[in-house]
Amino acid sequence: MESWPIYRVMGDESSAPNTVPDALALKIYQDMVLLRTFDEKALNLQRQGRVGTFPPSLGQEATEIASAHALSKKDWMAPSYRDHGALYVHGVPFENVILFAMGRAGSLAGDVRALPSSIPISTHLPHAVGLAMAARMQGEEAIAIAYFGDGGTSEGDFHEALNFAGVFKAPVIFLCQNNGWAISIPVSRQTASATLAQKAEAYGIWGVRVDGNDALAVYQVVKEARERALAGQGPTLIEALTYRLGPHTTADDPTRYRDAEEVVSWRGDRDPIVRLGTYLHQKGILLPADLEKVRETAQAWVNQAVEAAEAMPPVKPVEMFEHVYAAMPPRLVQQLQEFEGGGR
């Protein structure tokens, strides 16, 4: 079986030189810290009943943030439920992301090319292919990217999307964040394939594995995949090897299905924020005195976003009928009338 090497920039096992400018590397680090700060705040808000069920990105910040920085604002983003950081980098304000967690309308900025976060698994992958095809038909210099987890590769939508994209060479990137677990199911129970990236071969598209905790490597791989797509070379399946340090969502208890030692092994030097911070420090880009300032700035930003979200008027229950269809179908009209009439 053909070997599938892991693309890596940082560390002793690096396989590629760094091409990310220092200023951009620092910005990626700052946004990773911001995402983790946001996650910590959101977890506290959930425990206080101020937001609903929440899926933290703890441990996956490098893949989310760095990949989004490799895109153009013209590109379309199709996120899953855990990609708040990618949405933020693409232009969605954090207060709008918080609104989504609150189950409220208005969770996306109107001029940002991003679909709402997809709760169903992999159903948004065919949508990303459609967006990519539409952009090409309209002569736009734009691609689409779809985010999903390792468990998403077991869904029919995954195979249908890759097959269609491969046949028509759609300018789309399929970014699989392989964090080791699909809730409580390990990757070994998802597939017999040695890797997820090699599934690309069945559809005649390019596949690559990247160290998902190496932000610089993720940026470079996504940037190259985007350039290939724009050059008419078709889609790419990227398997980003990372790890979910926290629960699947706030409704999950990961201690019931995985060993504490496994989680500990992914902390410390393997933590994506620690890795990039160490790299920047060694290059003299990030000084020890700057670390606390970065954290304080992130905390202030997140607190401001929460205040802005919670200052908005109370949600109107009728919005759940209004935001799905441009023209409300008869069955929803009837339900709305029953709701407004108190069920009579």
Other C-beta atoms lying within 10 Å of the C-beta of residue 25: 22
159 is a catalytic site residue: no
Alpha-helical (H) ranges within 147-214 are 156-168
Residue type at 315? V
From CA 145, how far away is CA 63, in angstroms rounded?
13
Size of the chain in residues = 344
C-alpha distance from residue 40 to each of 125, 227, 285 (Å): 29, 35, 26
Neighbour-count burial for 39-68, b at 16+ CB within 10 Å, e otherwise: bbbbbebbeeeebeebbbbbbbbbbbbbbb
Judge whether 16 and 8 are in contact, CB under 8 Å. Answer: yes
From CA 135, how far away is CA 158, in angstroms rounded?
21
Please list the residues that pair with 71 across neighbouring strands: none
- The residue ranges of DSSP E strands in the chain, in sequence order, are 6-7, 76-78, 144-149, 172-178, 181-182, 185-186, 206-211, 236-241
Active-site position among 248, 270, 323, 331: 248
Nearest to 79 by CA among 23, 24, 121, 25: 121
Up-side HSE of residue 93: CA atoms within 13 Å toward CB? Answer: 16
Neighbour-count burial for 137-150, b at 16+ CB within 10 Å, e otherwise: eeeeebbbbbbbbb
From CA 35, how far away is CA 299, in angstroms rounded?
10
From CA 167, how far away is CA 162, in angstroms rounded?
9
Active-site position among 257, 281, 331, 344: 257
Nearest to 234 by CA among 144, 107, 156, 151: 144
Active-site position among 244, 256, 258, 325: 244
203 is a catalytic site residue: no
Other C-beta atoms lying within 10 Å of the C-beta of residue 9: 22
248 is a catalytic site residue: yes
Q: Which residues are catalytic?
A: 244, 248, 257
